[in-house]
Structure 1
C-alpha cells in the first residue's frame, strides 16, 4: 500500500483517488441511492454518532427512508414496530427485544439512533436471521436446512476466493489455524465462510424485501464493517439479488487512517476526530469484526 493521502479530520475521502469529497456533494449523491450501508465497529461510541449524523443528513434530502439493523433478528420486527409507534418505553423496548442476548453491547451507544427513527417517523427493519440458522449452515451446509427452517432466506451466492482471503486475514495471524494446510483447517475455513455468508445473505434478503413497488425507500444499513468492505459480504449478495445503486460508507480512525485508504474498500471514508479516554481494551475494527464465539458457531 502506498503512503496515505492527506485526510483531515471531519472530511470525506475517496479511497480510490485520494480526493476529498465535499459533504453536501456526497450526501446528495447518497440520497439518490437505493441502499447506503454504514459500516460500524460495534463497541465504538464515536462510530455510532457518525452513523446518526449521516442518517440525519440523508433524511433531510430523502425522507422516504428506512433503517435496517444487523443486531435485530426478524422475529423482533413486531417489537420494532411497537417502538416506532411510541407504544414502548426505552426500558420495555430493550427488554422485549432481549437486547442483552441478541446483541449485548451497551444500549446507550444505539439509543440515539433508535430515538431518531421514532421521533422522525423512520421505519426500522430487522435485518438478521435467528442465530441457530447461522450455526447450522456453518456446520451442515445450506442444503441440509429444511425449507421451513430457512427464515425466508435464499441460498448465498458462493464466496469468491478474494472474500475468503479477506475473512481469514481478519481472524487469523500468520500462525493461526486458518493459515494451516490441514484437513481440520480446511473444514473450519469452510464452516466459517458458510456462517459469515449466512449473515451476509440475511442482511441482503431483508433489505431486498423493501425494494418493491413504484417508490421503494432509501435503505440505511447499520451493519458491521466486516460484512461490507471491498464490495464483499452484503454488497455482493445484494448484487446477486438484483439490487442496484448500493454504496458503502465507512468511518476512518487511527493515527493515519491508512487502512481505509485501500482502493475499493468503500465509496468514501469519513475521518473521525481522535477520541480521548477510549478504554484501553477497545480493539480495532479488524480485531472486533469476528469474536471467538462467531468462529466457533
Structure 2
C-alpha cells in the first residue's frame, strides 16, 4: 500500500485536480470544462482495459460536446486505412456487428469492444466526425527493428520526421524498454541510453506519437475552429512528452491533455507538466486475480505489450513479446478471453499458462501464494 503522501488523497474520486508548482489544486468541473472547450485539441488518456477510464472519457466527451457541438473525436485504436469504415458508422450505414467486423476490431486492437461502444454510439448518435489516428503496427515494429532511416519515406504512411525526444522522454522510454525481450544483454547489466537498439526503440515510439499528432493537425486544418478530442493511451500523454510534444512541433501549442487518476497512484508523481489536469476515477477492485500485463490481439494471437513492475507477471518471468496460447489448458485467442479466465481462476490453485516465446512453447505454473 502507498504511504500517506501517496494514498491517492491528492485526487479524490470525482474531482478534477490541476498539478502546479504550489501543489495539486482542485478546480471546479464547470470552470475547467469551459476552458478546455476553447482549446483546439483535448487529449483524453486511458488504460485500455479499464472500464472506469472509458466511463470518464465518455462523460468528459459529453461535457465538451455540449460546449462545442462541432468537435471531432479521434481514435488511437483505428489505423488510417480504416477511415472509410468510421465515416460509414457515423453516417448510420453500419450496424454494430458489421461495424466491428469491418474494422476487424480483434485484429487491430484486441481490447474488449464493449469498453468503447458507448463512446462510439455517442459519436454516431451526435454525428461527430471520427478520425483514425494510427499507423499499421507492422510499420512501428519495422522502425523498432531497423531504425527510421532504413524505412523509405514512401513506406512511412505519409508520416513526417518526428520532433526529437526530450531527455525526460528518453529516460521514461528507457525504463519501458528494459522490460522488452529484444533488449540486448552482454551479461553486464542493461544497456544504457546510447545503445543503438534503444535508439531504434525511441524512433519507433516517436513515429507512433508523430503519426497521431499529424492526423489530429490534419483534422484541424480540414475543420478550422472545430476542436478535436482524442482518445489515446496514457503513456503517449503523461508528462507532455509524446503526442503533446509532437503537436507543439506542428504549431498546436495550446493542446490540453487529461489523465484519469486512480487512488493507488503515488501522489508524488502529480507534478507540474504531468497533465493539464487529472480526474479521480473510482475503480472497483478486480473481480479476481490480475496478471499485471497489457495485452493485444493480432490475428487470433494474444501478445503481452507491457508488464507492470512488481506484478505477478513480472515476478513469474513473463516478458513483453510473449504470446499467451492457453490458460489452465484452455486455448485463448483474444485479450478478453485471457482477462476473463484469469479473473475466474479458483483461489488457492496455481495458474497454468502456455506461452509462445522465440518459436517455442513454454509451460508455466504461476504460484499465487501471498497475493
SS in 1 for 2:260: strand
Query: 1:92 and 1:253 mapped to 2: Cα distance?
Result: 35
The answer for the alignment partner of 2:28 in structure 1 is 22
Query: 1:91 and 1:103 mapped to 2: Cα distance?
Result: 16
Structure 1 length normalisation: TM-score?
0.89
**Change in 2 beyond 3 A, CA 1:136/1:110:** same
**Change in 2 beyond 3 A, CA 1:262/1:283:** farther
What is the Cα deviation at residue 149 of structure 1? 1.3
Deviation above 6 Å: which 4+ runs of structure 1?
A: none
What is the Cα deviation at residue 9 of structure 1? 1.4
Are the aligned partners of 1:38 and 1:220 in contact in 2 as well (CA < 8 Å)?
A: yes
Q: 1:151 aligns with which of 141, 144, 157?
A: 157
The answer for the alignment partner of 2:320 in structure 1 is 292
Are the aligned partners of 2:148 and 2:200 in contact in 1 as well (CA < 8 Å)?
A: no
Task: Kindly indicate whether residue 1 of structure 2 is the aligned counterpart of residue 3 of structure 1.
Answer: no
The answer for the alignment partner of 2:345 in structure 1 is none
SS in 2 for 1:270: strand
The answer for the alignment partner of 1:61 in structure 2 is 67
Structure 2 length normalisation: TM-score?
0.72
Task: Kindly indicate whether residue 204 of structure 2 is the aligned counterpart of residue 211 of structure 1.
Answer: no
**Change in 2 beyond 3 A, CA 1:46/1:91:** same
Bigger shift: 266-275 or 162-171?
162-171
What do residues 263-289 of structure 1 show as CA deviations (whole Å, max 9, x unaligned)? 321011111114144443164898569
SS in 2 for 1:158: coil
Task: Kindly indicate whether residue 148 of structure 2 is the aligned counterpart of residue 120 of structure 1.
Answer: no
5+ residue gaps, structure 1? none
Q: 1:258 aligns with which of 236, 260, 267?
A: 267
The answer for the alignment partner of 1:90 in structure 2 is 96
Task: Kindly indicate whether residue 80 of structure 2 is the aligned counterpart of residue 80 of structure 1.
Answer: no
Please provide the CA RMSD for this pair.
2.9
Are the aligned partners of 1:171 and 1:287 in contact in 2 as well (CA < 8 Å)?
A: no
The answer for the alignment partner of 1:222 in structure 2 is 231
Q: Which has the higher contact order (CA 8 A, sep 6+)?
A: 1
Are the aligned partners of 1:156 and 1:198 in contact in 2 as well (CA < 8 Å)?
A: yes
Q: 2:16 aligns with which of 12, 18, 43?
A: 12
Query: 1:268 and 1:183 mapped to 2: Cα distance?
Result: 33
Task: Kindly indicate whether residue 281 of structure 2 is the aligned counterpart of residue 272 of structure 1.
Answer: yes
5+ residue gaps, structure 2? 295-305, 310-318, 323-356, 358-371
Q: 1:238 aligns with which of 227, 243, 247?
A: 247
Q: Which has the higher strand share?
A: 2
Rg comparison, structure with higher value: 2
Q: Which has the higher helix share?
A: 1
Bigger shift: 128-137 or 4-13?
4-13
**How many residues are matched?**
292
What is the Cα deviation at residue 172 of structure 1? 3.3
Bigger shift: 186-195 or 70-79?
186-195
